[in-house]
Amino acid sequence: MLESKIPSGPIEQKWDKARFDMKLVNPANRRKYRVIIVGSGLAGAAAAASLGQQGYNVDCFSFHDSPRRAHSIAAQGGINAAKNYRNDGDSIFRLFYDTVKGGDFRAREANVYRLAQISVNIIDQCVAQGVPFAREYGGLLDTRSFGGVQVSRTFYARGQTGQQLLLGAYQALEEQIAAGTVRMHTRSEMLDLVVVNGRARGIVTRNLVTGAIETHAADVVVLGTGGYGNVFYLSTNAKGSNTTAIWRAHRRGALFGNPCFTQIHPTCIPVSNENQSKLTLMSESLRNDGRVWVPKKQGDTRAPGSIPEDERDYYLERRYPSFGNLVPRDVASRNAKEVCDEGRGVGPGGMGVYLDFSDAIKRLTEPVVREKYGNLFDMYEEITGENAYKVPMRIFPAVHYTMGGLWVDYQLMSSIPGLFVAGEANFSDHGANRLGASALMQGLADGYFILPYTLPNYIASSSLEKVDTSHPAFAAVKEEVQQRVAKMVNIRGKRTVDSIHKELGKMMWNNCGMARSEEGLRSNLAKIPELRHEFWTNVNIIGGGEEFNQSLEKAGRVADFLELAELMCLDALQRAESCGGHFRVESQTPDGEALRDDDRFSYVSAWEWKGENADWVLHQEPLAFEYVHLTQRSYK
């Protein structure tokens, strides 16, 4: 069942070999094939535009009012590429090496190598589209060092790199829409997948304005629907980000890979009130110049300026002298949690640490700091009312990204033939921890440069029978979707959707967040089904299914989070090792660092849904490391 289809041969040649071995579709025949792409973020929009250019007949779906709203737009920091424009020792191999190691040896080597190779083409492509990357006075592209790497390989567009890359893909997509190769379906949410004779052949959607449930058939379906960090309720994800598309596909047979691998980002603005609806990320580029500290004394409530230098604990610099404030995200987050658990946290509730720029301002002057980080300082002031040029920022970790997702092979195809998964929605390239500036790279690699090869190969090498929405499978799935919507709307209980979502989020943050224990996970596994029952018997959705109904939209997504949460805890429980963002308290070194267990856990967990009243079945894809040798990560 778990055939990863990694090509043979040396790692540098695998992708070339795979591309040569792929079957092609005659240009004249391409328009006869229909491709459904769900999601219009970096992966989805890039794939839709590229396949439209090749001549395929593409239908692209987004629950937003415009494809430009996808949450890729919010990425701040940058995008990695092994261009070595700085002559500082970077190379494809080094980007590959850093990514495998940064992922704590839980990603596939072959996939990561391909990602590093493609990274150079992405920058070329984006510049050709007019993405306004930062430049130097001579007109060449500028780069910076980012998120715990020692070379300068991150390309950026001020603090809005995701926005500019997405607009590039969006504009290419709009060009194809105008050309008639892509039909865009906005305000359409995928609520189920249609599988015919073992192959993905279409989707069922809800029109979010009219409430109409609609069916769409195709020869191949791509999901580029992003991550599921909102299972925690509070996260840096957009409010609409959800798991529904991949979860519905999982229930139709797609295996779910590494569901417990969640990234908790170290530099976010701390939670300030009970009604808080989301958390705001501050780009981790801030760690290039800011110094992280807490008071040495517990419960020290003095203002930061009146705490003398020798009573401050610059704990990252102390514990990790060679990387200091630039340790990878998982390490920085866990250390922040530890010092706060020790009672040394700062700000309201003691859930925060300082990120202090006073040394940088002394060294570089305030105008230089303003030029580098001005928009971030402004954003911080808008939210907190504090001026970070005068007092240190307060930061705390927040859920940011999910490395887990639907299991895919080297071709990005899930375990359902004809269902491809791209970007954050798949599990593939980041292992147990994603390095900074790698998400944009992966989304665009999948969309621009991998799917446009692997998807035609699938079409050309499969004998696809003619299927349209008149096939009985479509009517059957549509009926199920309609019943589910009707059931939800008719519960008419006492609790709002948000109140249940918040309760789930707290449970997940406490027991399946930055530190996970067997006891906490078992407690969640007992309580989540109860909360699910509460939802299905006591939720109150105002209004009906046949109208613009945001409560109903949220309810459908929360219903799926309530199932996914259980699988995440189950996965975290079976992985009795610490790796990357997954820290099991039972598995640590004597000095409190994460302790991996390669003998027992060097595999991808891929879970199979067996029905509502049956247990999931765990499949394992063993991981082999031929090029990057297994070592315990050390940033000391």
Partner 1 sequence: MNLTLKVWRQQDAKAAGKFVSYQVQNVTPDMSFLEMLDLLNENLQTKGEAPVVFEHDCREGICGSCGFLINGVAHGGHRGTTVCQLSMRFFKDGDSLTLEPWRAKAFPVLRDLAVDRSAFDRIIQAGGFISAPTGGAPDANAILVPKNDAERAFDAAACIGCGACVAACPNAAAMLFTSAKITHLNSLPQGQPQRDQRTLDMVAAMTEEDFGSCTNHGECEAVCPKEIPIEFIGRMNRDLIHATLHRRGE
Taking CB under 8 A as the criterion, the residue among 34, 71, 372, 633 binding partner 1 is 71
Based on the residue annotation, tell me whether 600 is a catalytic residue of this protein. Answer: no
526 or 542: CB nearest partner 1: 542
Judged by CB under 8 A, the chain residues 429 through 448 that form the site for partner 1 are 448
Q: Is 84 in the site for partner 1 (CB under 8 A)?
A: no
Distance CA 197, CA 232 (A): 36
Query: Which among 30, 34, 201, 329 is annotated as catalytic?
Result: 329
CB 495 to partner 1: min, Å? 9
- CA angle 343–346–350, rounded 5-degree value: 55
281 or 606: CB nearest partner 1: 281
CB 268 to partner 1: min, Å? 11
Distance CA 35, CA 315 (A): 51
Residue 480 has a CB neighbour count (10 Å cut-off) of 13
4 or 53: CB nearest partner 1: 53
CB 169 to partner 1: min, Å? 10
138 or 611: CB nearest partner 1: 138
290 or 452: CB nearest partner 1: 452
CB 371 to partner 1: min, Å? 12
Are 169 and 449 within 8 A, CB to CB?
Answer: no
CA dihedral 528, 531, 533, 539 (to 10 degrees): -150
- x-marked contacts with partner 1 along 351-390 as a string, rule CB under 8 A: ---------------------------xx--xx-x-----
Judged by CB under 8 A, the chain residues 281 through 310 that form the site for partner 1 are 281
Taking CB under 8 A as the criterion, the residue among 543, 630, 631, 636 binding partner 1 is 543
Q: Is 239 in the site for partner 1 (CB under 8 A)?
A: yes
Q: How many residues bind partner 1 (CB under 8 A)?
A: 81
Q: Using CB atoms within 10 A of its CB, is residue 63 exposed (0-12), middle (13-18) or buried (19+)? A: buried
CB 133 to partner 1: min, Å? 7
- x-marked contacts with partner 1 along 182-221 as a string, rule CB under 8 A: --x-x----------------------x------------
Q: Write the CB contacts of 412 (distance below 8 Å, at least 6 apart in sequence).
A: 420, 421, 422, 426, 428, 446, 450, 451, 454
67 or 404: CB nearest partner 1: 67
Judged by CB under 8 A, the chain residues 567 through 626 that form the site for partner 1 are none
Q: Is 483 in the site for partner 1 (CB under 8 A)?
A: no
117 or 578: CB nearest partner 1: 117
Q: Which residues pair with 281 in a beta bridge?
A: 268
Q: How far apart are the first and last CA of the chain?
A: 41
CB 152 to partner 1: min, Å? 14
**In this structure, which long-range contacts are made by residues 510-515, counting pairs with CB atoms below 8 Å and at least 24 apart in sequence?**
511/569, 512/260, 512/262, 512/565, 512/568, 512/569, 512/572, 513/232, 513/262, 513/264, 513/399, 514/264, 514/333, 514/334, 514/337, 514/397, 514/583, 515/334, 515/337, 515/583, 515/584, 515/585
Q: Is 85 in the site for partner 1 (CB under 8 A)?
A: yes
Judged by CB under 8 A, the chain residues 262 through 281 that form the site for partner 1 are 272-273, 275-278, 280-281
Distance CA 43, CA 209 (A): 25
Q: Which residues pair with 61 in a beta bridge?
A: 38, 185
């040396």: which residue's tokens?
Answer: 10
CB 60 to partner 1: min, Å? 12
What are the phi and psi torsion angles at 271 (to 5°)? -65, 135
136 or 626: CB nearest partner 1: 136
Taking CB under 8 A as the criterion, the residue among 37, 45, 48, 50 binding partner 1 is 50
39 or 202: CB nearest partner 1: 39
Q: Output Rg (C-alpha) for the chain, integer angstroms.
A: 24
Give the residue from 623, 630, 629, 632 showing the smallest Cα distance to 107: 623
CB 316 to partner 1: min, Å? 26
CB 239 to partner 1: min, Å? 6
Taking CB under 8 A as the criterion, the residue among 10, 130, 529, 592 binding partner 1 is 130
Task: Tell me, letter by letter, the H, E, C secondary structure of 60-95.
Answer: EECCCCCHHHCHHHHCCCCEECCCCCCCCCCCHHHH
Task: Tell me, letter by letter, the H, E, C secondary structure of 115-141.
Answer: HHHHHHHHHHHHHHHCCCCCECCCCCE
Taking CB under 8 A as the criterion, the residue among 29, 537, 550, 620 binding partner 1 is 550
Q: Which residues pair with 206 in a beta bridge?
A: 189, 213
Taking CB under 8 A as the criterion, the residue among 551, 563, 588, 627 binding partner 1 is 551
Judged by CB under 8 A, the chain residues 152 through 181 that form the site for partner 1 are 157-158, 160, 162-164, 167, 170-172, 174-175, 177-178
Report in angstroms the alpha-carbon separations of 29 from 45, 169, 451.
23, 25, 18
Q: Is 240 in the site for partner 1 (CB under 8 A)?
A: yes
User: Would you list the DSSP string of 279-315?
Assistant: --B--GGGGGT-EEEEESSTT--S-GGGS-GGGEE-H
Taking CB under 8 A as the criterion, the residue among 27, 139, 611, 622 binding partner 1 is 139
Q: Which residues are marked as active site?
A: 329
